[in-house]
């Protein structure tokens, strides 16, 4: 298994544990993502798993309803992506992405895998869970976050209705690395 597949598994395990810990009466709780509740955060992650499959003419397989079983919906989407990562040919197949040509595993790593880290924080915040991001993840992701082009923050730059990132939230220069990462990702770590 590749390092990317291993990293995906660790991130998916962490996200899944947060989904599993959401209580039935918390799914409508507001998240730090404007206009999204806790269920919407999971729905976004499930949807992005589907986006990763499109370049290969694939779609998400049969899954439980997000409304009735968010955990089951996530597990099914996860299995679809893990099948791509486990396929030695498909994982290294290149395709065009909005940021250039990448292999399937590179695209998964940079988009949906990384998304689970930040949206895991969103879900934890929405549902009163521990919102600490693994410090190794923060250190790994911070350099890329510092280089986010401004066009990624323009609503609709990648198509109608698509918002990749919100405006940067300024944090003090001496803020903890997690807070700096969150600010770069458009989140107020103190909200």
Q: Report the interhelical angle of 114-127 vs 3-21 (nearest 10°).
A: 10
Q: Which of 99, 92, 2 minimizes the C-alpha distance to 56?
A: 92
Rounded CA separation 170/61 (Å): 40
Handedness of CA 79, 101, 57, 88 (dihedral sign): negative
Judged against a pLDDT cut of 80, whether residue 2 lies above it is answered with no
Q: Which helix (H) or strand (E) holds 144?
A: helix 135-146
Q: What's the CATH code, domain 3-129?
A: 1.20.120.450
Distance between CA atoms of residues 101 and 117, nearest Å: 23
Name the residue with tokens 């949906």.
112
pLDDT digits (tens, 9 = 90+) for 118-155: 999 999 999 999 999 999 999 999 998 998 877 777 77
The predicted-structure confidence for 16-61, as pLDDT tens digits, reads as follows 999 999 999 999 999 998 889 999 999 999 999 999 999 888 999 9
List alpha helices for 128-168, DSSP H.
135-146
Domain positions in the chain are 3-129, 132-191
Residue pLDDT, tens place only, 81-110: 999 999 999 999 999 887 789 999 999 999
Determine the Cα–Cα distance for residues 156 and 66; give it in Å rounded to an integer.
26
Is 127 in contact with 30 (CB distance < 8 Å)?
A: no
- The whole-number average pLDDT for the span 67-84 is 98
CA distances from 89 to 5, 43, 113 (A): 14, 29, 20
Positions of E strands within 12-99 = 94-97
The predicted model scores a pTM of: 0.93
């Amino acid at each position: 298994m590749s390092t990317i597949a291993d990293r995906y598994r660790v991130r998916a395990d962490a996200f899944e544990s947060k989904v599993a810990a959401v209580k039935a009466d918390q799914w409508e709780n507001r998240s730090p993502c404007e206009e999204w509740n806790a269920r919407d955060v999971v729905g976004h992650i499930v949807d992005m798993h589907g986006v990763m499959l499109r370049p290969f003419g694939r779609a998400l397989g049969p899954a439980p309803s997000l409304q009735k079983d968010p955990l089951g919906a996530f597990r099914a989407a996860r299995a679809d992506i893990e099948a791509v990562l486990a396929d030695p040919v498909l994982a290294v197949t290149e395709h065009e992405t909005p940021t250039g040509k990448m292999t399937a595993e590179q695209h998964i790593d940079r988009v949906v895998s990384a998304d689970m880290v930040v949206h895991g924080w969103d879900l934890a915040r929405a549902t009163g869970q521990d919102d600490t991001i693994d410090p190794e993840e923060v250190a790994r992701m911070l350099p890329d976050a510092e280089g986010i082009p401004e066009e990624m923050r323009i609503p609709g730059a990648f198509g109608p209705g698509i918002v990749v990132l919100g405006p940067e939230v300024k944090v003090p220069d001496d803020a903890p690395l997690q807070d700096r990462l969150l600010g770069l990702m458009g989140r107020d770590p103190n909200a």
